Every structure is written in C-alpha cells, then in structure tokens.
Structure 1
Amino acid sequence: MKWEEVRKIYPNTFVKFEVVESHMEEDKEIVDEVAFIKAINDGKAAMKEHLNCKKGQYVYNTIKDKIEIQLIKYIGIRGKM
C-alpha cells in the first residue's frame, strides 16, 4: 500500500506499518510502499507500540507527507579492552 493511500484512509493518526519498498537519498531512507499493520489513536499507545516494533516496523503519524528515516552509521569500538 502506498503511503498516500494510508494518509487518505487514516488522516492525522498514528499508524504501525512494515516497510515493503524504499529507496535511498543521501543519508535517508525514503519509504515508498508499506504493509499496514494497525491504526493507533493515542500518542501514549503509539509510544508503547514503537517500543515493541520488530526490525523493519515503524510507528509514524500520517500528518507527514512522506516517510523519511534518518540513517545513522555505527562505527563501533576498535581495539582491545
């Protein structure tokens, strides 16, 4: 399902979804297509759902025009302790 369709069905609502298709623009992942899981009416409930998301799942508000996920490079620790 396209993000635009989700926005039309659930205006100004938090939704939980899984990324189906996306592309990269610089250091951001732009999501093109999602697999809708459920709508969440409450901000507090949305935070709880966000904490329980599996890899590739997100909670996002449909007030946003597009889904942009900021990618952070993990450098890690080098050397011996």
Structure 2
Amino acid sequence: MRWEEVKQAYPDKWVVLEAMEAYSSDNNRIVEDMAVLDCFDDSMEALRRHAELHKKKPDREFYFFHTSRENLDIHEKKWTGLRRI
C-alpha cells in the first residue's frame, strides 16, 4: 500500500506499518510500499505493538504513525559509537 491508501483505509487511527519497499535519500527514509500490521485509537498501544514487533524481528523495518499526517517524514539518524553485541 501507499501512504495515501493507508490514510483512506484507516482514517484518524494510529497504524503500525512494515516497510516492504524503501530506500534512503538525503538522510530520509522513503517508504514506497508498506503493509499495515495493526491499527489503534491510542498512541501508547501503537508504541507497545511497534516495540513488540521490533524486539521479535529487529532486522525488519517497522514504523508507527497517525493517519492525520500528510506525509511520512522519516529522518534517518546516524549512529556513532558502539552498540552492545
């Protein structure tokens, strides 16, 4: 699905998404195709679901957004330093 389709299908909801097709450009992540995994009225429920999915499958790309947003503005952060292995 594209973001416009998600907004129409889930008006005024928090949605948890998985990026199916995405690329990086100028420190932004551009998601061209996405799958809606869940939707909620409450942002904290969406956050918990996102965290649960990310913990189970950290190699996949999950996001959560409210469908009132006009566009998906996903800014990439560059990690400097060490992570726990």
TM bin (shorter chain) = 0.7 to 0.9
Question: Structure 1: which amino acid aligns with 2:75?
Answer: Q
TM-score, normalization: structure 1?
0.80
1:25 positional shift: 3.0
**2:68 paired residue number:** 63
Matches within 5 A, 1:28-67: 28-54=28-54, 55-67=60-72
Q: Which secondary structure state, in structure 1, belongs to the residue aligned with residue 21 of structure 2? A: strand
Secondary structure class of the residue paired with 1:34: strand
Percent pairwise identity: 27
- Please state how far the C-alpha of 1:60 moved relative to its aligned partner: 1.0
Deviations 1:16-70 (A, max 9, x none): 1100122333111121210111111112212212322323011111111221211
Please give the root-mean-square deviation of Cα atoms over the aligned residues, in Å. 1.6
More helix by share: 2
Look up the equivalent residue of 1:17 and give its one-letter code.
Answer: L
Equivalent residue in structure 2 for 1:76, among 59, 78, 81: 81
Per the normalisation by structure 2, the TM-score is 0.77
Equivalent residue, structure 2, for 1:27: 27
Which 5+ residue runs of structure 2 have no aligned equivalent? 55-59
Greater strand share, structure number: 1
